[in-house]
Amino acid sequence: VGEFFAMFVFVFIGCCITAQAIFRMPHSEGSMDITICFGWGCALVLAVAIGAGTSGAHLNPAITIGKAVFGHYPWKRVPSMVFAQTLGSFIGALFTWLYYYPMWDLVNPGHRQSVGKAPTAEIFVIQPSKSGIYTNTNLFFNEAMMTFCMLFAVHFVADKRMTMSATTAPVLLGLMLTAILLAGSQVSAIGINSARDFGPRLFIVMAGWHDTFKVYNYYFYVPLISPIVGGI
């Protein structure tokens, strides 16, 4: 339950920040990138603070599966944890859609766009920043490498030898996420979290973005699989 609510808050706040940046600053990419990256970092601070005392605030299948692979988490609990993470992300996307409901027909009248002049799908899911420049192989490596960096920071913060307060750890992780998003956003929006992308992607298919699993040469598998590879 703790993991579900933490992921719900993370995705809802993060997607809402992305939405307001895109709606308010559609032609100001630099300012928009900083707003989105910093906003997702703040969302992670809140999510870690919510989940730390209950589920341990994995908030990422890469962390859960990685811990299980190395014997630090029971495999029998992995499916329920990953399901909670994905469901929380799905509901977070649903509430974002409801929150901005009047805007969808204004920006995408008649047809929800995953690509094009107003690709509102990128509010919810991870997509390449420069279409046609980077191959899915490049993007797979990018996502896996950034996940590795993030999990390196997570294990550093979680090390019991570190005398870190309960309030310091979430802030450090939020700053690390902000730095990673800023570092990699020229290549693609950085997810480093399979549940954070797959849950919202499932929702927006139901909500009218019917091509979201097909666009960019079936790019959806990159943010789904590469974070797991980077996490292990």
pLDDT digits over 24-61, tens only?
Answer: 866 556 567 888 899 999 999 999 999 887 878 889 99
Question: Number of structural domains, the chain?
Answer: 1
pLDDT digits over 127-161, tens only?
Answer: 887 666 788 898 899 899 999 998 888 888 877 77
Query: Please, are residues 47 and 4 in contact by the beta-carbon 8 Å criterion?
Result: no
pLDDT at residue 158, rounded to an integer: 78
pLDDT digits over 89-131, tens only?
Answer: 999 999 999 999 988 888 887 778 777 677 888 899 988 876 6
If you average pLDDT over residues 179-188, what whole number do you get? 82
pLDDT at residue 30, rounded to an integer: 57
Neighbours of 62 (CB within 10 A): 26
Quick one: which of 181, 182, 203, 180 has its CA closest to 125?
203
Residues spanned by the domain of 196: 2-231
pLDDT at residue 187, rounded to an integer: 72
Whichever domain contains 134, its CATH number is: 1.20.1080.10
The residue type at 47: A
